[in-house]
Structure 1
Amino acid sequence: MKHLVFLLLSLFATVATVRAQGVLTFDKEQHDFGSIPEGVMAAHEFRFKNTGNQPLIIANVQASCGCTTPDWTKTPILPGKSGMVKAVYSSAGRPGVFNKTVTVVSNATTPSTVLTIKGNVLNKEQMRSRLTPAQLAQSPRLTLDSNRHDFGKAEAGQTLTARFKVTNTGKQDLVLSAITSQCYCVGYKNVPSPIRPGETAVVELVYNQRRLGPQQEAVVITSNDLNGDAKLTLTADIVKDLNAGSMVKESGTSVPFK
């Protein structure tokens, strides 16, 4: 009899332990962006609630490809409280239909949940053909203060910084996305924030070139400006050793250039 009572108590304790767990309940597990212009960072927040009776912790969120960047609530979510999982899809250079997933791993009763984002990326020509002149006029507009920058003489492998003023002369927030160049040696120093209509921001580009001699790089900055991408040129004279190039002879003795 005692063994039976002990067995029943153990069973009840096990059931109670199983039931004492967080439950991850999403509002929805799939989002369709529809048609979006190439160059935008398409972002969606999946909202969820802990409908269990114990704190819920998201251990990790893994995207199915490098084109999708996840973010999520990092702090424990108490019973009855809400959190989010955010998926950001980079559409730059990826025209066409996409269907991507992010897998949420947590201590919930269901330890793994798969969320899906999908849509159709249209290049800017396709997007413009679908818009009326009035709709196109509402697009953000990227205007550069200059489309050239000369670094002058620089050492191979040195990281150089060029600053450009970008003004949004359009009607919606301007979002800068990918940078492309033939040398794959140009990028953002910091990811730019969206630029509001009528505002100007300083955008810093970093350049690192190891090829010696005069260099000229054609750079394209993509954005959600439907009128086209921004094009600029970076130039530099890359030398092996900048210090050696700055020595001159004075009275037969090499001294640093002043």
Structure 2
Amino acid sequence: MKQFASLVFAVLLAVGARAQGVITFEKELHDFGSVPEGTMATHEFKFKNTGNQPVVIANVQASCGCTTPDWTKTPVLPGKSGIVKAMYSSAGRPGVFNKTVTVTSNASVPSTVLTIKGNVVNKEQAKATMTPAQLAQSPRLVLDRTTHDFGKIESGQQPVAKFTVKNTGKQPLELGMITSACNCVGYKSVPPTVQPGQSAVVELLYAQRQTGPMSDVATLSSNDLNGDVKITLKANVVRDLNSSSMVKETNAVVPFK
């Protein structure tokens, strides 16, 4: 009887050992090739659960702060697919890069290392090495306008300006960093990729804390080899909008009662 129980236990252990999810990536290395400086190089590593139990990715850890990972957060059932996205910020990082992201999950192999590599080149250098035909195939960023005036705003507020970006080129457009001398302009929302012929909305936060009439220029980078785009944000920043509730009577300022 004891031998039979031991046999049953061994069989259950064997079955349990075989009942696991298996992450199978289409590839574990992606070479971006030449990346124009300032772009956010993005790649989705696709995988399939070839096991017989759901797979849950617990974490994806990048080897450096310049790489931002994202991944399928919901359980991936047997036979279904998911993605691990790696985004490399090339702004201010010219030269060759080779970075990794480590995927941790409950799969039969609990840890997988994915690699992205490439060479960040100056846009002018990249443009000089391309033929006219290649340049004609590149993405092209076109804005609906290049200036936004917020009017009067209160110091400390962070108003949002919405711009429509259209890709009139032949390749997917990838938006990169946005920079400004005042360090007061940033993204609220940005589409990672705009397909040829498509448009998308970019939302910019304006956090100018100085007072008075302001005009700040922000540079929006992308993989458009024709160059970066300049956006001007204007505002009249006041300390307190409630001060507008004062009126002048006989040259004396008095509050509303």
**What's the TM-score bracket when you normalise by the shorter of the two chains?**
0.7 to 0.9
Q: Flag the 1:56–1:174 CA change in 2: closer, same or farther, 3 A.
A: closer
Cα distance 1:14–1:221, how it changes in 2: closer, same or farther (>3 A)?
same
The size of the alignment, in residue pairs, is 255
TM-score (norm 2): 0.84
- Aligned pairs for 1:1-258 within 5 A: 2-192=1-191, 194-197=193-196, 203-250=202-249, 254-255=254-255
Closer/same/farther in 2, CA of residues 171 and 51 from structure 1, 3 Å limit: closer
Q: Which SS does the other structure have where 1:110 is aligned?
A: coil
Cα distance between partner residues in 2 of 1:61 and 1:11: 35
Q: Deviations over 1:191-247 (max 9, x none)?
A: 146445556655432211222333332210101110111113223332211211452
Aligned mates of 2:138, 2:20 — CA distance in 1: 48
Structure 1 residue 19: Cα displacement: 2.1
Give the superposition deviation at 1:166.
4.0
Letter in structure 1 aligned against 2:190: V
Q: Any stretches of 5+ residues in structure 2 without a counterpart?
A: none
Letter of the structure 2 residue corresponding to residue 35 of structure 1 = S
Residues 45-65 of structure 1: per-residue CA shift (max 9 Å, x gap): 223233333222223323333
Cα distance change on mapping 1:68 and 1:7 into 2, 3 Å: same
Q: 1:61, 1:105 → 2: CA distance? A: 6
Would the alpha carbon gap of residues 243 and 42 (structure 1) be closer, same or farther in structure 2, given more than 3 Å must change? same
SS in 2 for 1:175: strand
CA distance in 2 between partners of 1:32 and 1:113 (Å): 18
Q: Percent of aligned pairs with the same residue?
A: 65
Structure 1 unaligned spans of 5+: none
Whichever residue aligns with residue 254 of structure 2, its letter is S
**Normalised TM-score (structure 1):** 0.83
In structure 2, what is the Cα distance between the partners aligned to 1:75 and 1:224?
A: 32
What is the identity, as a one-letter code, of the residue corresponding to 1:95? P
Please state how far the C-alpha of 1:182 moved relative to its aligned partner: 2.1
Once the two structures are TM-superposed, the CA of residue 11 in structure 1 deviates from its matched residue by 3.1
